Amino acid sequence: MKYETLFNHQRIQKIGFGTWHIGGASVPNSALDERSLSALRSALELGYTHFDTAEFYGGGHAEELLGRAVCESGAARETLFIASKVTPSHLRFKDLLRACEDSLRRLGMDYLDLYLIHWPSGSIPLEESFRALNQLVAQGKIKHLGVSNFDLAQLKKSQALCATPIITNQVPYNLADRSYLQNGVIAYCQAQNILVTAYSPVKEGRITVSSRLQEIARAHAATPYQIALAWLVNQPKVITIPMSFDPQHQAENLHAADIELTEAEMEELD
């Protein structure tokens, strides 16, 4: 497994486990509980230590299920890296403080390793949001701060307002979607020692599998989806958070971090 090292020497897995669809989509769906818990349990058993969730996922139910699975696993809290995100509607000072407390309560945890603004707000100033986020860090409820879906100007403003380093910008990035490469965000993050957390790394299994991608996969005794993940994590400062309910696919995703692509293969995929 490859890791990235943060400014305080904490390490984070290059391939983590995303929780979108765990416990529902944007609202809770208890009918998915057993399937969701089974997925989380197998991920923990396979060796995932980096988990990404959000108060939006399952209307908070994803956080509840993740907290339950972690508790049942007996894993020591300090061995895990848990990230969650606050919705744009909760970016007012008091709302944000309350949203973080609610996330911690649902997770059954005392702190988050990472807390991100899920999407920028068009009406709530970042100054107000970061006043709350900086307070949460000072109180020890959050270890690191990040943003998600921020363009270059929003990211730079966040850096100026944040009392501690912004450690990541979570954006859509995969073989088919290079929009944040084209708008300069990824190069800026790499230059500034900010992690790019690539979400939708295989477009939920809908990436186009070309004949060349299949050839590269065969050369590494891997699946095309593993190569798509390897292409991401072979890049400096890029990590990713695929999700699967299938234990076999979870294992394949995790092991994709160990695939070393050649310079020529990276250039072809680029």
| 270 residues of the chain, pLDDT tens digit each | 899 999 888 999 999 999 999 999 999 999 999 999 999 999 999 999 999 999 999 999 999 999 999 999 999 999 999 999 999 999 999 999 999 999 999 999 999 999 999 999 999 999 999 999 999 999 999 999 999 999 999 999 999 999 999 999 999 999 999 999 999 999 999 999 999 999 999 987 778 889 999 999 999 999 999 999 999 999 999 999 999 999 999 999 999 999 999 999 999 998
Supply the CATH number for residue 204's domain: 3.20.20.100
Give CA separation, 79 vs 7, 51, 76, 88, 214, in Å.
Answer: 18, 12, 6, 30, 36
Count of C-beta atoms within a 10 Å radius of residue 193: 15
Q: Are strands 3-5 and 11-13 parallel, antiparallel or unpaired?
A: antiparallel
d(CA 228, CA 185): 20
Pair 249, 224: CB distance under 8 Å: no
pLDDT at position 206 is 79
Cα–Cα separations (whole angstroms), residue 270 to 173, 178, 267: 12, 10, 5
Reading the block at residue 97, the tokens are 């403080």
Of the candidates 255, 242, 225, 231, which has an alpha carbon nearest to the alpha carbon of residue 51? 242
Would you mind telling me the total number of residues written for the chain in this entry? Answer: 270
| Number of domains observed in the structure of the chain | 1
CB 66 within 8 A of CB 53: yes
Which residue numbers are catalytic?
A: 57
| Domain, as residue range, for 7 | 3-269
- Predicted confidence at residue 7, as pLDDT, reads 87
